[in-house]
């Protein structure tokens, strides 16, 4: 099985250096890498050139059109029979490629996804955001190594599919956000098999701050409604939970201000459980405190985006949209 690893990048040369460094340390070195520069002003070609003696790596530049279209260009120019997509802010454990190949050889699937983790040397905020994106108290745990829906939907930060899948689906859509979930839905709809490879995890740095994180998750909330309009069967109760939480926070805040401060107790209990869980998982009170903040940014940002899109797209029948267009690589 020949793997082609495809990475879209936008103004992140240092990230590409770290990712290529981890690829050069793989125990299985039989793969190609395609770095697709999506209209960056700060290009990573010099970083790619450094690794050409160690890796079978190609550098491709294109005008900016978003990560989905960059992945499609990489797919067109690749030679492998199985395509693997990574985000530029990921680094890989040395066994990643070997794990993917061995797992697919034992139990082949047309598409796969893997979870993300935080390394010990990540900043406290990076580890806190990683917690908020994978915790049961925020996402229900559906991103943390298992998806509790009827079919597994790979995400593009760590995702692969066969050449046949690419040819029959046409690759990623032009959606700016949610294009990976749209792709997974179409893969499953065509009868292809998807699955999770738990040991094919990546270390996801998420080089961001809380402001950009809010923009990212706000757009994720909008994207969920855009996906619902494209694929009505795709919306599940768990996807509505952040919106319900956001409305609940608003109601609790109003009641605590005008009736009794005791109405804040449910939020305090939720924050306390989150603090305890994040502290124990990361063995750090600081990360636990930051995780509470990141979790509320994640829940409220996603919930507000979901509500915003529900009003415009479902109630008023507006066309597909997203906000914060410049943040779709964050």
**Model confidence, pTM:** 0.91
Determine the pLDDT at residue 269.
96
In angstroms, the CA 146 to CA 212 distance is 26
Q: How far is CA 66 from CA 10, 155, 226, 310, 328, in A?
A: 9, 16, 17, 24, 7
DSSP 8-state code for residue 313: I
Q: Which of 215, 160, 223, 214 is CA-nearest to residue 192?
A: 160
On the question of pLDDT at 326 being above 70, the answer is: no
Determine the pLDDT at residue 109.
97
In angstroms, the CA 16 to CA 36 distance is 11
Q: Is 181 helix (H, G, I), strand (E, B) or coil?
A: helix
Q: What is the mean pLDDT of residues 213-229?
A: 95
How does residue 330 score in pLDDT terms, banded at 50, 70 and 90? very low
Q: What is the mean pLDDT of residues 173-185?
A: 94
Determine the pLDDT at residue 327.
46
Tokens linked to 158: 């760590």
Q: Where are the beta strands (DSSP E) in 144-284?
A: 158-162, 194-196, 202-204
pLDDT over 90, % of the chain = 87
On the question of pLDDT at 146 being above 60, the answer is: no
Determine the pLDDT at residue 323.
82
On the question of pLDDT at 148 being above 60, the answer is: no
Q: What is the pLDDT of residues 55-90, one digit of tens each?
A: 999 999 999 999 999 999 999 999 999 999 999 999
In angstroms, the CA 146 to CA 156 distance is 15
Determine the pLDDT at residue 143.
55
Tokens linked to 320: 């597909």
Q: Is 185 helix (H, G, I), strand (E, B) or coil?
A: helix
How does residue 139 score in pLDDT terms, banded at 50, 70 and 90? confident
Q: Which of 164, 282, 306, 291 is CA-nearest to residue 226?
A: 306
Mean pLDDT for the chain? 93
In angstroms, the CA 139 to CA 133 distance is 7
Q: What is the mean pLDDT of residues 232-257?
A: 95
How does residue 141 score in pLDDT terms, banded at 50, 70 and 90? low
CA-based angle 206:207:212, to the nearest 5? 90
Q: What is the mean pLDDT of residues 120-125?
A: 92
Determine the pLDDT at residue 328.
46
In angstroms, the CA 275 to CA 295 distance is 10
Element (H, E) at 60: strand 56-62
How does residue 107 score in pLDDT terms, banded at 50, 70 and 90? very high
How does residue 151 score in pLDDT terms, banded at 50, 70 and 90? confident
Determine the pLDDT at residue 137.
76
pLDDT over 70, % of the chain = 95
In angstroms, the CA 235 to CA 313 distance is 14
Q: What is the mean pLDDT of residues 320-327?
A: 72
Is the separation of the CB atoms in 1 and 109 below 8 Å? no
In angstroms, the CA 117 to CA 236 distance is 25
Determine the pLDDT at residue 144.
47
Bridge-based pairing state of the strands 31-38 and 116-117: unpaired
On the question of pLDDT at 108 being above 90, the answer is: yes
Chain length of the chain: 330
On the question of pLDDT at 281 being above 50, the answer is: yes
């Amino acid at each position: 099985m020949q793997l082609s690893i495809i990475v879209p990048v936008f103004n992140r040369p240092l990230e590409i250096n770290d990712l290529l460094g981890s690829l050069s340390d793989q125990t299985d070195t039989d793969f190609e890498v395609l770095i697709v520069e999506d209209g960056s002003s700060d290009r990573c070609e010099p970083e790619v050139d450094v690794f050409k003696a160690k890796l079978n790596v190609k550098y491709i530049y294109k005008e900016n059109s978003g990560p989905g279209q960059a992945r499609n260009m990489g797919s067109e120019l690749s030679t492998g029979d199985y395509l693997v997509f990574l985000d530029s802010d990921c680094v890989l454990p040395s066994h990643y490629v070997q794990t993917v190949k061995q797992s697919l050889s034992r139990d082949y699937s047309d598409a796969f996804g893997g979870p993300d983790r935080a390394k010990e040397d990540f900043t406290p905020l990076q580890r806190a955001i990683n917690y908020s994106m994978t915790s049961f108290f925020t996402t229900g745990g559906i991103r943390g190594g298992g998806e509790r829906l009827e079919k597994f939907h790979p995400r593009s930060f760590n995702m692969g599919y066969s050449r046949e899948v690419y040819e029959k689906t046409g690759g990623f859509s032009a959606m700016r956000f949610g294009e990976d979930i749209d792709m997974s839905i179409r893969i499953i709809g065509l009868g292809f098999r998807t699955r999770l490879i738990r040991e094919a995890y990546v270390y996801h740095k998420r080089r961001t701050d809380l402001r950009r994180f809010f923009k990212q998750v706000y757009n994720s909330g909008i994207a969920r409604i855009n996906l619902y309009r494209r694929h009505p069967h795709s919306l599940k109760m768990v996807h509505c939970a952040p919106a319900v939480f956001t409305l609940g926070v608003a109601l609790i805040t109003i009641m605590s201000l005008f009736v009794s401060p005791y109405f804040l107790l449910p939020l305090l209990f939720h924050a306390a459980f989150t603090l305890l869980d994040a502290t124990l998982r990361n063995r750090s009170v600081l990360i636990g405190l930051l995780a509470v903040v990141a979790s509320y940014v994640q829940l409220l940002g996603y919930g507000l985006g979901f509500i915003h899109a529900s009003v415009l797209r479902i109630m008023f029948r507006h066309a597909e949209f997203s906000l914060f267009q410049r943040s779709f690589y964050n």
